[in-house]
């Protein structure tokens, strides 16, 4: 269920290894972008790759096979350009806790840096998230952070208010933003949000996750667990206007 590209040709992430999982089996039911079809991964070339993985047309690895082959990935790599973390007992709203812990430990032992996101729910009630699922996921992420402190497991949020809730639990965050968002701002609770540098690059400036996006610690900002801000991603793709309207409640 895990498709691996040893060296990506993406202009955004650069020539690093990248993975993709079966979205049907991993994307949470609580994702509003999935519910209304505004997820960038459902559109264009990304959507083509997503469908092919979901239909079993690409070679994939089982979670155990992937964990055993992680040392073959590039030093910096991206987890899941599409899809999400493997699910617990076929429940797409729950993280496979054992897999996540084993993966982050492997990242540390291999001396790698991984860019990891999950949109599985961590806050009860958010878009219908059940308390038992949110609690399970918080415990899974906390265990991963404790097992491998150098690895960031980002919680993907859909509003500044969600950022405040997730950061209150001590989790690094990313957030989807509407068109026209400023490069930097603070959330209602005073947490900082900074837009992805790649989206702010102008002219001939080229920023990629693997080659030029760097935090003060010399690693991609989304991979830095010590950062004190959420990373914002402004709506993009062919349905960016529709996504912006949804975010703004219009």
DSSP 16-66: SEEEEE-HHHHS-TT-HHHHHT--GGGSHHHHHHHHHHHTT-S--B-HHHH
The yes-or-no verdict on residue 80 having pLDDT over 70 is yes
pLDDT band at 219 (very low <50, low <70, confident <90, very high): very high
Q: At what angle do helices 131-147 and 97-109 cross, to 10 degrees?
A: 20
Q: What is the pLDDT of residue 245?
A: 82
Q: What is the pLDDT of residue 204?
A: 64
pLDDT, average across residues 188-207: 90
pLDDT, average across residues 149-160: 97
HSE at residue 166, side-chain half, CA atoms within 13 A, is 31
- H or E stretch covering 167: helix 160-168
The yes-or-no verdict on residue 150 having pLDDT over 80 is yes
How many domains does the chain fold into?
1
Q: What is the pLDDT of residue 206?
A: 85
Q: What is the pLDDT of residue 92?
A: 98
**CA gap 237, 44 in Å, rounded:** 8
The yes-or-no verdict on residue 250 having pLDDT over 60 is no
pLDDT > 90: what percent of the chain?
Answer: 82
153 close to 172: Cβ distance less than 8 angstroms: yes
Other Cβ atoms less than 10 A from the Cβ of 214: the count is 15
Q: DSSP strand E in the chain: where?
A: 2-5, 17-21, 76-78, 87-88, 91-95, 113-118, 153-157, 173-177, 184-186, 192-195, 229-234
**CA gap 219, 129 in Å, rounded:** 33
The predicted-structure confidence for 3-52, as pLDDT tens digits, reads as follows 999 999 888 899 999 999 999 999 999 998 888 888 878 878 888 889 99
The yes-or-no verdict on residue 238 having pLDDT over 90 is no
What residues make up the domain containing 192?
Answer: 2-248
- Give 47's contacts (C-beta < 8 A, 6+ positions apart): 41
């Amino acid at each position: 269920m895990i498709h691996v590209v040893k060296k990506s040709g993406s202009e955004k992430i650069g020539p690093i290894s990248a993975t993709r999982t079966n979205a049907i089996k991993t994307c949470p039911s609580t994702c509003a972008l999935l519910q209304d079809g505004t997820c960038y991964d459902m559109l264009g070339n990304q959507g083509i790759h997503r469908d092919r993985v979901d239909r079993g047309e690409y070679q994939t690895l089982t979670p155990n096979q992937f964990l055993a082959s992680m040392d073959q990935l590039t030093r910096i790599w991206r987890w899941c350009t599409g899809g999400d973390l493997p699910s617990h007992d076929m429940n797409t709203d729950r993280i496979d806790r054992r897999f996540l812990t084993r993966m982050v430990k492997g990242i540390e032992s291999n001396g790698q840096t991984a860019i990891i996101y999950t949109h599985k729910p961590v806050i009860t009630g958010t878009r219908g998230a059940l308390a038992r699922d949110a609690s399970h996921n918080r415990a899974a992420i906390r265990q991963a952070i404790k097992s491998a402190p150098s690895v960031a497991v980002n919680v993907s949020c859909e509003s500044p208010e969600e950022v405040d809730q997730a950061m209150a639990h001590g989790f690094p965050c990313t957030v989807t933003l509407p068109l026209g968002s400023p490069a930097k701002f603070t959330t209602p609770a005073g947490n900082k949000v900074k837009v992805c540098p790649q989206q702010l690059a102008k002219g001939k400036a080229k920023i990629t996750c693997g080659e030029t996006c760097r935090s003060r610690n010399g690693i991609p900002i989304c991979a830095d667990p010590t950062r004190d801000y959420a990373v914002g991603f402004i709506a993009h793709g062919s349905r960016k206007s529709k996504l912006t309207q949804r975010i703004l409640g219009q």
